[in-house]
Amino acid sequence: VVLTQQAERLMERQLDPASSELVRRHLTDLGVEVHTECRVRGVGVTDGAVRRVELADGYLLDTDVTVLACGVRPRTGLAQAAGLDVRRGVVVDDLLRTSDPHIRAVGDCAEHAGRVYG
């Protein structure tokens, strides 16, 4: 198993550097080959399936199964239509209250202290 990550470290939006390193070590101990700070340049398709991934640095990965994920972006249209304060996510305070004190927002849609964690 090979895990590639575009960011400098694993789960950088969710974890502090020490926790991120702990996850990396655990995955490595399980036999996962972890690459960070890399981008996918291209894929090779054989018989309708991705069988090779080329990273921007030229590294080639031959694959049996390939999973590509592009991250999560909050869908804030409903909150915005309801008149809630929306920036990159639904803005919440320390108690997860939105600009309407009767509505809370949690998870990937919430933005707290200028950060979206999804």
The string of pLDDT tens digits covering residues 27-80 is 999 999 999 999 899 999 999 999 999 999 899 999 998 887 777 788 899 999
Nearest 5°: the CA angle 61, 62, 68 is 65
Domains contained in the chain, CATH given: 2-62 (3.50.50.60), 77-116 (no CATH)
- Write down the pLDDT at residue 23: 96
Q: What percent of the chain has pLDDT over 70?
A: 99
Check if the beta carbon of residue 62 is closer than 8 Å to that of residue 52: yes
Check if the beta carbon of residue 17 is closer than 8 Å to that of residue 7: no
Residue of 59, 61, 37, 36 whose CA lies nearest to 50: 61
